[in-house]
Amino acid sequence: MTRVETDRKPAAVLAVAVVVWVGIYGTLTYLRHRYFGTFGFDLGIYDQGIWLLSQGSHDVITVRGLPLLGHHLNLALVGYVPFYWLGAGPQFLNLTQAVSLGLGAVPVFLLARDRLGDAWAAVGLAVAYLAHPTTGFLQVETFHPDTMAILPLLVAWWAAHRKRWGWFFVAAGLAVAWKEDLALAVAVLGVVVALRGERRLGWGVAALATGWFVAATGVVIPLLNGRGVFYGQFFGDLGDDPLQVGLTLLSDPTALLSRLTARDTLTYLWSISAPYGFTFLAGPAGTAVALPQLVVNLISEFPYTRDYRVHYSAVVLAGATLGMVEGVGWLARRLGDRRLLALAVLYTAVATTVQWGPLTLAPQHRVWPGRLPWSDALAEAVASIPPDGAVSATYLAVPHLTHRRLIYEFPNPWKVVNWGFRDELPPDPTPVRWLVVIPELHGSEDRSLYEELRNARGAEVVFERDGVVVVHLGEPVSRQDLGSIS
């Protein structure tokens, strides 16, 4: 019996697992968006950005205050433009991500089969990847380029292992095309390739990837947005760029120690590590791919970087997965029972996702979508806005209004929040003529602003039901007008 014949049943089981996973999580995100459970950040950002590209424009994404490729260098997003010509939008983005995440199990299976020499054990590790809580939450969070980069990164590692260099360069290039900082993961991969014997190729990849990251963050992105990379502000008093951060940590090691021992850091590391039973510790080469992103996540002052449920953990998950496969392979060569080890990892992945994954019934984690109190009213409100109308909307409505040039997340553009660089260079609010607001979802200051705009001269409430209000501003309202409206 040939290997192909031997592996046919395990491959079929894996195919079913992937289809089931994509079906469940694809449906989950489809319903979440349909019932207005998705947000302007980040789904609305990427949807408006791609739509603008499809219109031949690289204008500022008004949801974010930066041009698409001056926000991050997400070159792969250009590939969506033809689909947007055909009418694609947020649901298409979410579906392609579900498929991409699900297919990530394939390179995990191929690598595990090579490392363990057992297709059934390989299926167990591939399904463990699908069952990891972070894998599910990345899909639930909705579309993000970091998440899309997981599949090509896993393929690149497997291709390097098999010395299929054509596949390697295609996959590594695609990973970097999804986001500029994926170049750091590819650089580490190049170092691993070099240390495993392919010195010229590996060091060349590491140098090329590092050079691309430096050029992207130091030249290309600043050229496209006129300022620089915005995420330097994540590191607070550590510095505004990698060099400053590195020098600060070297001169003051206690700053690093305090971050590494913080409670949220330890919780984060546990949440990523426990689902794989810490087996990635036995596969440090694979885990190393995650180190650049993990360091950034741990030293950042932005708390979401240490949340296992969001896209900042995408590359960390990829590295942990590669480390898990390599680690189980190392353990199997010493302990002998490959299938028992794979079953143990699968058990811990399923057990942890039952405890704190997106499919759990625990109220604090449950994400199964349903109709919100305002879902039907919000659908009617959104449909009432003219296709070319300039609008400011509550964050839940934003991803449904992004196929236009001027769409702001309320209270923008009158009160500038999460805009551009440190809320500098605020936009002109006078073109905005429509408000779609759910007042109860905003704080007291923003509700006061809403009331002021609602009472502006010429303003008319054209829709109000189930907490959703649509206001048409008959006359422009500038920031200078605020405070004088009675």
Per-residue pLDDT reduced to its tens digit, 130-144: 999 999 999 999 999
Q: Supply the DSSP string of 452-484, one letter for each residue.
A: HHHTSTTEEEEEEETTEEEEEESS---TTTTTS
342 and 310: one domain?
Answer: yes
pLDDT winner (highest mean) among 56-60, 333-337, 402-406: 402-406
281 and 422: one domain?
Answer: no
434 and 286: one domain?
Answer: no
Q: How confident is the model at residue 362 (pLDDT cuts 50, 70, 90)?
A: low
181 φ, ψ (degrees, to nearest 5): -80, -5
Classify residue 329: in a domain, yes or no: yes
411-440 mean pLDDT = 93
Return all residues near 78 (Cβ < 8 A) that are at least 6 apart.
53
Residue range of the domain that includes 130: 3-37+89-180+266-292+300-356
341-364 mean pLDDT = 86
328 and 458: one domain?
Answer: no
Classify residue 315: in a domain, yes or no: yes
3-state helix, strand, coil in the chain (%, to 5): 65, 5, 30
Residue 312 clears pLDDT 50, i.e. is over it: yes
Classify residue 258: in a domain, yes or no: no
Whether 457 contacts 437, CB under 8 Å:
no
Question: Measuring CA to CA, which residue among 130, 132, 126, 135 is closest to residue 107?
Answer: 126
454 and 319: one domain?
Answer: no
361-388 mean pLDDT = 82
Distance CA 29, CA 38 (A): 9
275 and 306: one domain?
Answer: yes
176 and 280: one domain?
Answer: yes
Classify residue 479: in a domain, yes or no: no
Q: What pLDDT, on the 0 to 100 scale, is given for residue 251? A: 76
Residue 1 clears pLDDT 50, i.e. is over it: no
Q: What pLDDT, on the 0 to 100 scale, is given for residue 402? A: 98
322 and 414: one domain?
Answer: no
Classify residue 440: in a domain, yes or no: yes
434 φ, ψ (degrees, to nearest 5): -130, 140
Taking only the tens place, the pLDDT of each residue in 97-125 is: 999 999 999 999 999 999 999 999 999 99
Q: What pLDDT, on the 0 to 100 scale, is given for residue 32? A: 93
Q: What pLDDT, on the 0 to 100 scale, is given for residue 240? A: 66
**341: helix, strand or coil:** helix
Q: How confident is the model at residue 261 (pLDDT cuts 50, 70, 90)?
A: confident
More confident: 23 or 337? 23
Classify residue 130: in a domain, yes or no: yes
Q: How confident is the model at residue 366 (pLDDT cuts 50, 70, 90)?
A: low
Q: How many domains does the chain have?
A: 2
348 and 379: one domain?
Answer: no
Residue 475: C-alpha distances to residues 145, 292, 480 (Å): 39, 50, 14
Classify residue 116: in a domain, yes or no: yes
Classify residue 402: in a domain, yes or no: yes
pTM of the predicted protein model: 0.94
341 and 385: one domain?
Answer: no
Residue 149 structure tokens: 């980069």
94 and 150: one domain?
Answer: yes
Taking only the tens place, the pLDDT of each residue in 5-62 is: 567 899 999 999 999 999 999 999 999 999 999 999 999 999 999 999 999 998 899 9
Distance CA 98, CA 24 (A): 9
Between 74-88, 223-237, 280-294, 427-441, the lowest mean confidence (pLDDT) is in: 223-237
Q: What pLDDT, on the 0 to 100 scale, is given for residue 232? A: 67
Distance CA 193, CA 205 (A): 9
Q: What pLDDT, on the 0 to 100 scale, is given for residue 5? A: 53
Distance CA 30, CA 90 (A): 9
Taking only the tens place, the pLDDT of each residue in 151-192 is: 999 999 999 999 999 999 999 999 999 999 999 999 999 999
Three-class HEC string of 375-419: HHHHHHHHHCCCCCCCEEECCCCHHHCCCCCCEEECCCCCCCCCC
